[in-house]
Amino acid sequence: MTSPFNFGQRFIESKGQPIAHGASTVQMIDRFPAKLGEELEVTIESTASLFRQGVGFSEGVEVFGERQKKAVVFEHFSVPPEERESVRSRLPFTFTVTCRNRTGFVQFYNMALVSGRQEWWHGGSAMIVEEVDGGRRYRCNDFELDDDFNDLIFTVKPKSPTSRGRQPRGLV
């Protein structure tokens, strides 16, 4: 029998479709509406995991001036590279993702960094998506088999012309 917290296995059984878990619907990925060239403001609000957490996005994006098919921004990008051994992150951390595709959306999902390896979409990995004023909040569970949904919390909103997020202090 599949553990109720093994969302990865449950997503395999549902062929990647959202699944019911208690009173919530959980999913492995979300498609946020976006037009070609539209900027989205992403804020990593908090993390509560032993492992470094990150926001993954795909389908053609631009982040920190670089165009990529897929990319990830980890919480430690919020501090200068020379401080990352002693400071995990400074949250909240806001950055911009630009849609560079014609699909009509950018896909978002959660990731964890474990021993230099990126982990997503297996074990306990899942997210609860909530509509918030002007965007969405994602409460995420990393690969550990639990259902606290506080390992990574981030929001995505269309960027207004007057908003400006903190810029990264090095990507490596």
pLDDT tens per residue across span 31-86: 999 999 999 999 999 999 999 999 999 989 999 999 999 999 999 999 999 999 99
Average pLDDT rounded to a whole number, residues 76-97: 96
- In one-letter notation, the amino acid at residue 68 is Q
Q: Which residues contact 42 (CB under 8 A, 6 or more apart)?
A: 55, 57, 73, 94, 95, 96, 97, 154, 155, 156, 165
Give per-residue pLDDT as tens, 145-158.
999 999 999 999 99
116 or 73, greater pLDDT: 73
CA dihedral 15, 121, 54, 161 (to 10 degrees): -10
pLDDT at 35 (0 to 100): 96
Does the pLDDT at position 109 exceed 60? yes
Average pLDDT rounded to a whole number, residues 93-98: 98
Number of helices (H), then strands (E), belonging to the chain: the values are 1, 12
User: How many beta carbons lie within 10 A of that of residue 49, not counting itself?
Assistant: 17
Q: Which two tokens stand for residue 161?
A: 């012309």
Mean per-residue pLDDT over the chain, rounded:
91
Where does the pLDDT of residue 17 fall: very low under 50, low under 70, confident under 90, or very high at 90 and above? Answer: very high
pLDDT at 169 (0 to 100): 44
Rounded to the nearest 5°, which phi and psi values hold at 7? -65, -35
- Residue tagged 């929001």 (tokens): 155
Give the C-alpha distances (Å, rounded to integers) separating 23 from 19, 20, 148.
11, 7, 13
Helix (H, G, I), strand (E, B) or coil at 78: helix
- Residue tagged 């020379």 (tokens): 82
pLDDT at 79 (0 to 100): 96
Where does the pLDDT of residue 3 fall: very low under 50, low under 70, confident under 90, or very high at 90 and above? Answer: confident
Pairing between β-strand 93-99 and β-strand 52-63 as defined by DSSP bridges: antiparallel
CB 39 within 8 A of CB 159: yes
Where does the pLDDT of residue 165 fall: very low under 50, low under 70, confident under 90, or very high at 90 and above? Answer: very low
Measured at the alpha carbon of residue 41, what is the angle toward residues 126 and 135, in degrees to the nearest 5? 60
